């Protein structure tokens, strides 16, 4: 029997109001040690407000939040020693080098000079900034600044790391490097990582679980696979496949397969509805009948599609027509 992991973040009934506006509404959440949790939703959904309450930068209107058993309101200094916070726009002194900025952070955290220098060397190497460590930060790309932000957070060796939009504005290679760093921090070093983001595709690659925010409320929480199953429409699987040549004959072949409920065609793209996963059967049907399989993928298991379905449900229940969230879903599709 697997041993239960220690709870590092415990949130109960957390609420934040600004006048008539409720930014976070009765949030309930628990995150375990060594877990990567993604708090996902559009701008204005309440993600940043949540991270600010966890880091003691703003007080909740109601509810409680604990990190490693420490109250985020009453034990703010103890929480700050446990948590490393990386905001969406990491602030550095542009006229100082990367190394000098890290030394400044080390001094603020009371690290002895020799220990700080040794730690800085290791972190520059780890984040791929050894050669850029003596360059002024004003010359850094966005991706380099984000990696320096990770090094800055790790200076005090925190058990919990909270990151706000860490992948925003980074090129694909910088994205890959940063995501790998985040994965290592959790899986190799057993750090707990909470990521707030609106970039669904990038974040779903590394999160153990995700929470979906809609207008201040956490409408769903779980693994991507669990959320996909919970929102699967009509209990059906939907699979997209592309073949060459594409013709009506192949559509008829698909319709005749055992377990197929529906088949739609647009050009060489076929959408097959079924009661269970029949991906292998679809691929076999294409190859046996002389068609070249270009691509085959299950639909509805991506976070953008999952979020769309949850939003539509929440919007239907609340009569919501929030254009911001609709634009967010459209951008992530």
Give the CA distances from residue 11 to residues 15, 31, 64, 277, in Å, rounded to whole numbers and listed in that order: 10, 9, 6, 37
Q: What is the pLDDT of residues 221-238, one digit of tens each?
A: 988 878 777 766 544 677
Of 215, 95, 210, 92, the closest CA to residue 148 belongs to: 92
**pTM of the prediction?**
0.76
Q: What is the pLDDT of residue 13?
A: 97
Tokens of 316: 């239907």
pLDDT band at 170 (very low <50, low <70, confident <90, very high): confident
pLDDT of residue 320: 47
Q: Is the peptide bond before 245 cis (omega within 30 degrees of 0)?
A: yes
> What's the angle, vertex CA 312, arms to CA 44 and CA 267, rounded to 5?
115
- Strand order, beta sheet including 237-244: 260-266, 269-274, 237-244, 292-299
**How high is the pLDDT of residue 23?**
95
| Closest C-alpha among 130, 109, 113 to residue 121 | 130
Q: Alpha-carbon dihedral of residues 92, 95, 98, 99, nearest 10 degrees?
A: -120
CA distance 126 to 181: 8
**Domain at 7-228, CATH class:** alpha beta
Is residue 40's pLDDT more than 90? no
Class of domain 233-299: alpha beta
Q: Is-contact 308 329, C-beta < 8 A?
A: yes
Reply yes or no on whether the pLDDT at 2 is more than 70. no
Q: Flag whether pLDDT at 1 surpasses 60.
A: no
| CA end-to-end distance (rounded Å), the chain | 40
In the chain, where are the structural domains located? Answer: 7-228, 233-299
Q: What is the pLDDT of residue 192?
A: 97
**Mean pLDDT of the residues in the chain:** 86
pLDDT above 70 for 333: no
């Amino acid at each position: 029997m697997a041993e239960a992991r220690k709870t590092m973040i415990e949130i109960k009934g957390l609420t934040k109001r600004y006048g008539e506006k409720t930014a976070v509404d009765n949030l309930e959440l628990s995150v375990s040690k060594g877990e990567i949790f993604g708090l996902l939703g559009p701008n204005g959904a309440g993600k940043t407000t949540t991270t600010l309450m966890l880091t003691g930068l703003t007080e909740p209107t109601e509810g409680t939040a604990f990190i490693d058993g420490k109250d985020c309101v009453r034990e703010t200094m103890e929480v700050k020693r446990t948590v490393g916070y990386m905001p969406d726009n990491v602030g550095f002194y542009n006229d100082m080098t990367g190394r000098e900025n890290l030394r400044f952070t080390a001094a603020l955290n009371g690290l002895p000079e020799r220990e700080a220098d040794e730690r800085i060397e290791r972190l520059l190497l780890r984040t791929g900034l050894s050669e850029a460590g003596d360059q002024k930060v004003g010359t850094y790309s966005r991706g380099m600044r984000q990696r320096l932000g990770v090094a800055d957070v790790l200076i005090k060796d925190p058990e919990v790391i909270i990151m706000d939009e860490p992948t925003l504005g980074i090129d694909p290679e910088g994205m890959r490097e940063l995501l790998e760093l985040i994965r290592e921090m959790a899986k190799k070093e057993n750090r707990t990582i909470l990521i707030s983001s609106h970039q669904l595709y990038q974040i779903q690659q590394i999160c153990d679980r995700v929470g979906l925010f809609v207008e201040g409320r956490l409408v769903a929480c779980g693994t991507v696979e669990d959320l996909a199953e919970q929102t699967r429409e009509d209990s059906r699987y939907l699979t997209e496949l592309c073949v060459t040549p594409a013709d009506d004959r192949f559509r008829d072949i698909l319709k005749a397969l055992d377990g197929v409920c529906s088949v739609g065609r647009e050009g060489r793209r076929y959408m097959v509805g079924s009661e269970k996963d029949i991906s292998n059967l679809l691929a076999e049907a294409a190859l046996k009948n002389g068609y070249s399989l270009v691509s085959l993928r299950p639909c509805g298991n991506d976070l953008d599609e999952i979020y769309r379905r949850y939003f539509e449900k929440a919007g239907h229940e609340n009569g919501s027509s929030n254009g911001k969230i609709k634009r967010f879903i459209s951008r992530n599709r």
